[in-house]
Amino acid sequence: MLTSVRRRFHASIRLALALAVAAAGGVTGWTQAPADPAAGEALFNIFVGSTPAGFERVRVVRTEDGWLLQASGQLTAPVPVDTRVFEAAYDAEWRPRRLTIEGSQAGIPFRLDSTFADGAATNALREGDRQATNEDRIDPESVLLPNSIFVSYEALAMRLAQSQPGQELPIYVPPRGLLSARIEAVGIQHIETAERIIEARTYRITFVDPSQPLDAEVWIDESGRLLRVSLPYASLEVARRDIASVSARLTTDPPHPGSERVRVEAAGFSLATTVIAPVDVPPPPDGRWPAVVLVPGTGPVDRDETVSGVPVFRQLAWTLADRGFVVARYDKRGYGQSGGRAESATLSDYAEDVRTMVRHLQRRNDVDRDRIVAVGYGEGGWIGLLAARRENRIKGLALLATPGSSGATFVLEQQRDELRRIGSTGDERRERIALQTRINRAVLGEGEWDGIPDALRRQADTPLFRSFLAFNPTAELRRVRQPLLLIQGSEDQLVPPHHAERLERIAQRRDRRESTVELVTLDGINHLLLPATDASPENPSSGSQEITPRIAEVLIGWIERTLSLE
């Protein structure tokens, strides 16, 4: 463990899904950092690949001469970690004094005891039957960030609250690993929960390391307490329970001048929806605009489809409205401010919600009922396919970065790619893929759950994941009659271009004259619909947060040709 700490730290950073929005530029709202974080308890949810993967119970205690961080929790992926005891003592200036961690990793018990004095860290580690000690010279101001335990970010949050962009904070990854965290930008974000609106200060940072700089985001609330940790290179996010709840959503300030918040009645609940109508655009002769329904994908996303800090649907909706379209986007069933139960929903249920949205648009006096199209992003394209097959009122369907294989195949493909990215050994890759294959078979009723940890079963054995694994776009696509547009980024690493090419081949076999298909591959664009960079193709922090305008241009041109809007 002493020799592999740095590699594990990098792996934990890479396994990240950031749903956060980094606000670049100056800070408005807060004029001063909070003096001290409020002591108390909090519960954090941990997500890997948008799937719940663990929790931490956190306690911040104000002592006579400093601070005490305490926590316990579990993490199921990428490596199972059970933290029974975590205790980190800091002085009043948040300089570390001692650290104790006890638990198990992949079933192997461990205990780490560290003390800090006079610029030295003394570590005693017991891992299974092995014991080791070492001493490192460190900066006395270092923040402790041990692997796979996130309560330690409470200390980083406090130090960030007292810092400015451009500063670097020393980081120590016990028992070995010296890094620094450079503050790139600070911003303000507002989070609307059922109880109140939280004003969050967002810190976009880079972990500076000679082998590879790694980007992250840390959010804190008005009292200086940790709200969220986003590690956006791959797929991990940690969020405090109040902002991870289904009723929480990011708010847009100010809204688009043509936006209207409505609640659309569905099957026993309502969908929280934002409809944007064109403003300062010459209206059609009959006053009725063509309309677009934006279909969100899987995972805990709201109507803005915020992925790795990029509000994909909010940006797309504004652009389309400014070009003469009524655009509807909504919080998914069971998420954001929509009703319904996410735990019992399937892809088919989400498709029915799309049909509900289409019927709502048809009833509006400012919408041309014969010119309504649906646009699905990622796995939202699958939901769009199901909806279009059942709903003739959908006159066209656009799929952005949508997988072209079955759900079971796609899950294994993504896991292989992720394991390669984090540098797993051949044996580790084979073991993890074999386990995922067994889980897939058990979920689909083709195998048994024997030998699969209960925590993994609880995570996987759900109606949504079952419908996801069973979904086959080939079967659905052949039955869809509407014109199709496929938009694909050439540098998409999460849904590579071969998926769109496969969808195009399948769609070309349809024999109806109106069942046309167009594939547009955008050079240099990644899965987030942003320009990719050589350093980090899927990392929004490396460049612009604005999705490429080519998406809207291609989509508008296709709608005009397909629905004869010229």
What DSSP string describes 124-169?
EEEETTEEEEEEEE--TTPEE--TT--TTHHHHHHHHHT--TT-EE
Same domain (yes/no): 51, 112: yes
DSSP category for residue 282: P
Question: Which CATH number covers residue 317?
Answer: 3.40.50.1820
Per-residue pLDDT at 34 exceeds 50:
no
Q: Which residue has the higher pLDDT, 468 or 426?
A: 468
Per-residue pLDDT at 4 exceeds 50:
no
Nearest to 220 by CA among 309, 155, 148: 155
Provide the sign of the torsion angle of the four alpha carbons 360, 366, 371, 376, taken in this order: negative
State how far the Cα of 182 lies from the Cα of 213, in Å rounded to an integer.
10
Same domain (yes/no): 423, 501: no
How large is the angle between the packed helices 426-443 and 463-470, nearest 10 degrees?
A: 110
pLDDT grade for 253, boundaries at 50, 70 and 90: low
Per-residue pLDDT at 9 exceeds 60:
no
Same domain (yes/no): 195, 330: no
Per-residue pLDDT at 19 exceeds 80:
no
Q: Which residue has the higher pLDDT, 234 or 254?
A: 254
Is 78 among the domain residues? yes
Highest mean pLDDT among 248-257, 337-346, 385-394: 385-394
Which pLDDT does position 480 carry in this prediction? 96
Q: Which residue has the higher pLDDT, 197 or 157?
A: 157
Show the domain range for 430: 408-465
Is 253 among the domain residues? no
Which pLDDT does position 273 carry in this prediction? 94
pLDDT grade for 103, boundaries at 50, 70 and 90: very high
Which pLDDT does position 48 carry in this prediction? 81
- pLDDT (tens digit per residue) in 149-188: 899 999 999 999 888 899 999 999 998 788 899 999 888 8
pLDDT grade for 208, boundaries at 50, 70 and 90: confident
DSSP H or E segment with residue 556: helix 549-562
Per-residue pLDDT at 11 exceeds 60:
no
Is 240 among the domain residues? yes
Largest CA-CA distance found in the chain, in angstroms, rounded: 80
Which pLDDT does position 539 carry in this prediction? 60
Per cent of the chain over pLDDT 70 is: 88
Which pLDDT does position 320 carry in this prediction? 97
Residue the block writes with tokens 């929280």: 272
Same domain (yes/no): 436, 497: no
Q: What's the chain's length in residues?
A: 566
The stretch 212-233 carries a mean pLDDT of: 86
Which pLDDT does position 3 carry in this prediction? 30
Q: How many domains does the chain have?
A: 3
Highest mean pLDDT among 234-238, 317-321, 456-460: 317-321
Which pLDDT does position 299 carry in this prediction? 74
**What distance, in Å, lies between the first and last C-alpha atoms of the chain?**
65
Which pLDDT does position 196 carry in this prediction? 77
Same domain (yes/no): 349, 318: yes
Same domain (yes/no): 380, 274: yes
Cα 400 to Cα 155, 223, 368, 498, 520, distances in angstroms: 40, 40, 24, 13, 10
pLDDT grade for 418, boundaries at 50, 70 and 90: confident
Which pLDDT does position 162 carry in this prediction? 87
pLDDT grade for 298, boundaries at 50, 70 and 90: confident
Same domain (yes/no): 114, 172: yes
Is 356 among the domain residues? yes
Last residue of a domain, one of 195, 215, 244: 244
Same domain (yes/no): 456, 381: no
pLDDT grade for 83, boundaries at 50, 70 and 90: very high
Same domain (yes/no): 200, 283: no
Nearest to 189 by CA among 27, 50, 17: 27
Which pLDDT does position 26 carry in this prediction? 31
Predicted TM-score of the model (pTM):
0.64
Last residue of a domain, one of 444, 465, 486: 465
Is 252 among the domain residues? no
Per-residue pLDDT at 79 exceeds 50:
yes
Same domain (yes/no): 327, 204: no
Same domain (yes/no): 442, 400: no
State how far the Cα of 224 lies from the Cα of 59, in Å rounded to an integer.
14
Which pLDDT does position 246 carry in this prediction? 62
Which pLDDT does position 533 carry in this prediction? 77
Is 112 among the domain residues? yes
State how far the Cα of 477 lies from the Cα of 381, in Å rounded to an integer.
11
Same domain (yes/no): 323, 448: no
pLDDT grade for 470, boundaries at 50, 70 and 90: very high
Cα 514 to Cα 389, 400, 511, 562, distances in angstroms: 14, 21, 9, 9
Per cent of the chain over pLDDT 90 is: 62
Is 251 among the domain residues? no
The mean pLDDT value of the chain amounts to: 86
Which pLDDT does position 117 carry in this prediction? 93
Which pLDDT does position 5 carry in this prediction? 30
| Angle at the Cα of 520 from the Cα atoms of 516 and 521, rounded to 5 degrees | 150
Last residue of a domain, one of 187, 210, 244: 244
Is 24 among the domain residues? yes
